[in-house]
Structure 1
């Protein structure tokens, strides 16, 4: 426990600026970093050298004449590129990574990403508990929003999705799962081998549409499924190894699954919605 605590202290952490404090993303500091100005203090974000997922090296963008409470609201205001954006709610403003152009008409906010070699910090933490890591510095290797931030984004989202190696693969709908929050809610629900409906799942090429999948998401288990078990309509997956975990927990891994192919492979969770063309949705008062 002492070693774990000491390690966490080494993780960069920046206090969340207020809505008034976030001025703009002002400049590209170099080819590898960008600066976000908050109370005249730069928060430095590493840029990705490859970004096939969005078809470009993500560019930092921020709304100049409006505030947005999610990535989809940035898209509704005309944003069309993946990148780092500032979003606002009643309590605070902060930087997130938005995927705006890999799925036509949809925008997703990254809520968690971690490399397999960092799995020990995520494996036992369900998405329904508070476990923020580097939440003010979006990155692919070790990042998670607080539960309060996730909950606010959830309230403005219709879908969640899980992806593998997004910075290098993007969205080709392999090793990918998407569901409506009304069908399965990873931010609020406790799940234990619970059959839940998903709209789309592709696991190592095995495809399911409008099917049910067994999920775990509880105190000792990060949100995941086990593709070796036949508990619901989808599974067991061809080529699965015994007790194979997918999109989290990773007690047993399969190198043929993208998220666990190597120690540097990454897993992402996102919350998102489709564009409705109405930028004045204030029903929740955020």
Structure 2
């Protein structure tokens, strides 16, 4: 303790110099506009650099986990679309699902989620890829867990996705192995609880049934996991079930997604519109 005190007394002049220099620097910065602007700019630059270094370090530490996540997404899509003769294009890095006639119908473009909301009535995601990457409006968006949403708007480099946690989102869904289909929509409270509508009362639906995409909308391929039936009941006098579904997708924990483009969707819609006009 005595030696520490001796050291402090021996260097007291140096410590006093540092104190006075600090006071002078504070006064100069505070009462001189130019020096204050220089200090603010420099401090912001240093702060931004340190934040970038920290972010890069965090991203590096997460690389293994994210790579594992991407591998799981790839494996999931390969399994889901096995009956569609899923193949991988080594040249473009885009997975393509083929129809029975070996004509490509769906392409899957990997994208990173850069913004996500889950606590509103109308929630959205923002992706780091857009028109120049081949993404178009009204494309489906899926993850390794299931469906995430539908592309709403697209710019050259980003896309805005209407989340499944949006009260206007409707997903064409069916009961796996039983064929009955209806519309899946979010209830608006719990992020994992959805309602399946339009299932008739003669359908043999029970708790534990798997709900998957029907493929009828042209936005999503069939057989993509949506969730599991949690509760089934019927209102008096109704001809349709009320079905509560627990979603397979945890929207609070997604980093990477696949954007699904149906190559033939526009052609099919135009043909359907032509038939409807003929019936008028």
With normalisation by structure 1, the TM-score equals 0.31
Greater relative contact order (Cα 8 A, min sep 6): structure 1 or 2? 1
Q: Which has the larger radius of gyration?
A: 2
What is the TM-score with the length of structure 2 in the denominator?
0.32
Query: More helix by proportion, 1 or 2?
Result: 2
